[in-house]
């Protein structure tokens, strides 16, 4: 997490230096690096969660409430069932989201893209 | 300093305020979702989606205040209610996620067939989310078994007939709100159709609510006394109960 943070700072500073040299959009090695760094924020966030959740064990509230004492009276089957359902739901939704995102990024920008339709405002606004 | 009665009253008022806002605002969005799923014309569905697209997530945020408020203001009630209503709440949140995904991504659907399917998911999500909220309310009115600050039921009280009926009533009520919203925000054909739908749904909601109030009064003697109090309930209510 800390390493990724430093890498992100480094990426920002390098871009700044390249910008002063007017080559930030043309330096291929930098652009490749940006592609590699794309999931860095996501990974750093996940590692942050792992550090807090694992690091505070065996406490839910550090020094005050033990994890064993903070169990809810929900049955085991319900917890297992809901965990699997949420997992499947997230994988499907992240999958579709990633697919849409990649489809949009693959397409180079054009000048003749359709903008907002002014007629829509008349159909859905107050008269 | 405020005495504790006032603090309880103000806390309950704050919670009631956020729940009321949620029901009025996001209930309307859920109702539009139901009506959208039942509309055949693709162009009309797009107009209906556009009316709620910029605002639905802001409306839904009242739910966060309601949930957070219950935890912060009434932690004991939270600890008893959440285990009792674990499955309805999980289903409600999954339905809300499904709905949000369908509503935001429907414009990216590669074909009309898939778009129709996405709107089908929006309909399912809206129906399940509304029904689960009604079920939560019904279970609460019916009473949650508890002992010494701990939930003591088997996690299935919400499957009784009364909570399920509350779920159905809330879905009809939400759809009514949705029809009213569409009457306000659209023009021409969709508007006149929404007007008709709103009239039918209003009648259904009122009839179902009367049944619900009478049923509530028969659940517990305290409800009956409270509802037949001239200050709380009205006289017709009392007549209905004693005939």
**pLDDT tens sequence across A65-120:** 898 888 877 888 889 999 999 999 989 988 988 888 888 888 887 877 777 777 77
Beta strands A65-66 and A59-61, pairing class = antiparallel
B67 shares contact with chain A (CB less than 8 Å) = no
B155: nearest CB among A75, A89, A96: A75
Going by C-alpha positions, the residue among B125, B94, B105 that lies closest to residue B32 is: B125
H-run or E-run covering B150: strand B150-151
Chain A partners within 8 Å of B51 (Cβ) = 124
pTM over 0.90: no
Contact: B150, A73; criterion CB under 8 Å: yes
Contact: B94, A75; criterion CB under 8 Å: no
Contact: A82, B185; criterion CB under 8 Å: no
Contact: A126, B187; criterion CB under 8 Å: no
| pLDDT band with cut points at 50, 70 and 90 for residue A3 | confident
List pLDDT tens digits, range B210-219: 999 999 988 8
User: Looking at residue A24, what is its pLDDT?
Assistant: 82
Checking if the pLDDT of B67 tops 60, the result is yes
Contact: B101, A96; criterion CB under 8 Å: yes
ipTM of the complex: 0.71
**Kindly report the CA angle at B183 between B16 and B102, in degrees rounded to 5?**
70
User: Looking at residue A127, what is its pLDDT?
Assistant: 46
A 10 A CB-CB count for B230 gives 9
Contact: A100, B108; criterion CB under 8 Å: yes
User: Looking at residue B192, what is its pLDDT?
Assistant: 92
Measured between CA atoms, how close is B155 to chain A, in angstroms?
Answer: 7
pLDDT average, residue stretch B60-82: 92
Measured between CA atoms, how close is A77 to chain B, in angstroms?
Answer: 11
Listed ranges A33-37, B38-42, B165-169, B189-193; the one with the highest mean pLDDT = B165-169
């Amino acid at each position: 997490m800390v390493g990724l943070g430093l890498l992100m700072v480094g990426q920002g500073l390098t871009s700044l230096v390249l910008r002063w040299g007017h080559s930030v959009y043309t330096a291929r090695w930098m652009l490749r690096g940006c592609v590699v760094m794309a999931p860095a924020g996501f990974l750093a966030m996940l590692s942050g969660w792992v550090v807090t959740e694992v690091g505070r064990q065996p406490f839910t509230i550090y020094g005050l409430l033990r994890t064993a004492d903070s169990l809810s009276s929900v049955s085991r089957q319900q917890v297992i069932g809901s965990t699997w359902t949420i997992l499947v739901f997230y994988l499907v939704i992240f999958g579709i989201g990633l697919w849409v995102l990649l489809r949009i990024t693959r397409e180079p920008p054009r000048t003749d893209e359709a903008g907002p339709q002014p007629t829509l405002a008349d159909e859905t606004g107050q008269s | 300093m405020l005495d504790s009665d006032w603090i309880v009253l103000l806390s309950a008022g704050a919670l009631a305020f956020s729940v009321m806002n949620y029901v009025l605002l996001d209930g309307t969005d859920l109702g539009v979702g139901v009506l959208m799923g039942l509309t055949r014309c693709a162009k009309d569905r797009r107009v209906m989606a556009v009316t709620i697209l910029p605002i639905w997530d802001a409306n839904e945020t009242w739910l966060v205040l309601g949930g957070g408020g219950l935890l912060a203001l009434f932690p004991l009630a939270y600890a008893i209610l959440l285990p009792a209503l674990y499955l309805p709440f999980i289903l409600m949140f999954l339905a809300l996620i499904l709905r949000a995904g369908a509503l935001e991504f429907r414009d990216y659907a590669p074909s009309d067939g898939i778009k129709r399917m996405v709107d089908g998911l929006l309909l399912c999500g809206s129906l399940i989310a509304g029904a689960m909220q009604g079920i939560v309310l019904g279970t609460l009115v019916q009473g949650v078994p508890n002992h010494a600050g701990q939930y003591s039921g088997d996690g299935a009280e919400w499957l009784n007939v009364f909570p399920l009926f509350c779920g159905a009533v809330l879905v009809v009520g939400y759809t009514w709100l949705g029809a009213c919203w569409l009457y306000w925000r659209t023009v021409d054909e969709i508007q006149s159709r929404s007007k008709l739908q709103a009239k039918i749904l209003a009648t259904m909601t009122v009839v179902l609510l009367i049944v619900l109030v009478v049923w509530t009064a028969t659940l517990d003697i305290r409800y009956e006394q409270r509802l037949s109090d001239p200050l709380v309930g009205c006289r017709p209510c009392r007549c209905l109960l004693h005939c």
